Amino acid sequence: MSVAVRVIPCLDVDAGRVVKGVNFTNLRDAGDPVEMAKVYDAEGADELTFLDITASSSDRETTYDVVRRTAEQVFIPLTVGGGVRSGDDVDRLLRAGADKVGVNTAAVARPELIREIAERFGSQVLVLSVDARRRVADDGTADASGTATPSGFEVTTHGGRRGTGVDAVEWARRAAELGAGEILLNSMDADGTRDGYDTEMIEAVRRHVSVPVIASGGAGRPDHFPAAVHAGADAVLAASVFHFGDLRIGEVKSALRAAGAAVR
């Protein structure tokens, strides 16, 4: 027996409401993240991730309240990311009931933030979220502009719109060294396509880090999930395919089990 591959639904939460379409007919309020979390828990999700996309800081209290209410009713681990810039932000989320906190842009701007959080709260609370894209020239070969990163994968910010010139594989390796307990690897190219995870990117990162890697971006069919695991992912995350009801957690687990992966 070995540790099970985790299947993680991700909810985008804006000012306390789930955004992106929701297609659950049995829900009293499909826009309520707490209700959604309970459904996913009942369906066998191994963890939950909330991505807080609240723009206004005055609405942040709503996020803490959502986290608090979720932690009261759901007995599986909860990760909350989005807009985390300091140790104090982490502290507030953990106190509200989050088990782990996702850090993204703020750590790209200031890598020391990773060490600060890991030293204060332990590596196990820190999920480093890496939004990465392939960096190649128009003809599909190496980037002619000379800005391609060594691995061919580049860290982006602002939802993939802005390149940083930072190599994604090297960044994941360094982040783990600084104290990140897990890498959430999100392919900005695959995100939204439903054509499958970027397995080459997963393989490249897996080769260079020993902390768990969560695959994200591109899930569309059940067989996409075992492919990510085969490439080295310890956990698989998806959002819209679950929210729209196109895939159920159970289907994904069956596909994983059929491919020989341990599941809960």
Does residue 213 bind another protein (CB under 8 A)? yes
Does residue 6 bind another protein (CB under 8 A)? yes
Does residue 76 bind another protein (CB under 8 A)? yes
Does residue 242 bind another protein (CB under 8 A)? no
Residues 27-66 that bind another protein (CB under 8 A): 41, 46
C-alpha to C-alpha distance for 90 and 262, rounded to whole angstroms: 32
Does residue 89 bind another protein (CB under 8 A)? no
Q: Is 50 helix (H, G, I), strand (E, B) or coil?
A: strand
Structure-derived torsion over alpha carbons of residues 216, 220, 223, 225, reported in degrees to the nearest 10 = 20
Residues 208-245 as b/e (b if ≥16 CB within 10 A, e otherwise) read ebebbbbbbbbbbbbebbbbbbebbbbbbbbbbbbbee
Residue 150 phi, psi (nearest 5): -50, -40
Pick from 241, 245, 221, 238: which is nearest to 26 by CA?
A: 245
Q: What is the DSSP letter of 142?
A: B
Expressed in angstroms, the distance from the first to the final Cα of the chain is 11
Does residue 121 bind another protein (CB under 8 A)? yes
198 is catalytic: no
Does residue 1 bind another protein (CB under 8 A)? yes
Does residue 235 bind another protein (CB under 8 A)? yes
C-alpha to C-alpha distance for 170 and 181, rounded to whole angstroms: 16
Does residue 253 bind another protein (CB under 8 A)? no
The least distance separating another protein from the CB of residue 111, rounded to whole angstroms, comes to: 19
Alpha-carbon separation of residue 6 from 51, 129, 213 (angstroms): 18, 17, 11
For residue 196, which amino acid is it?
A: G
The least distance separating another protein from the CB of residue 78, rounded to whole angstroms, comes to: 9
Pairing of strands 126-134, 153-157: antiparallel
Whose tokens are 């703020």? That residue is 106
For residue 185, which amino acid is it?
A: L
Nearer to another protein, 157 or 254 (CB): 254
For residue 177, which amino acid is it?
A: E
The least distance separating another protein from the CB of residue 262, rounded to whole angstroms, comes to: 9
Residues 152-181 that bind another protein (CB under 8 A): 181
C-alpha to C-alpha distance for 57 and 134, rounded to whole angstroms: 32
Stretch that binds another protein, among 18-26, 103-111, 196-204, 208-216 (CB under 8 A): 208-216
12 is catalytic: yes
The least distance separating another protein from the CB of residue 144, rounded to whole angstroms, comes to: 36
Nearer to another protein, 190 or 236 (CB): 236
Residues 90-119 that bind another protein (CB under 8 A): 94-95, 97, 99, 119
User: Which entry of 131, 167, 198, 234 is annotated as an active-site residue?
Assistant: 131
Give contact residues for another protein (rule: CB under 8 A): 1-6, 41, 46, 68, 71-73, 75-77, 94-95, 97, 99, 119, 121-125, 181-182, 210-213, 234-235, 264
Active-site amino acid positions:
12, 131
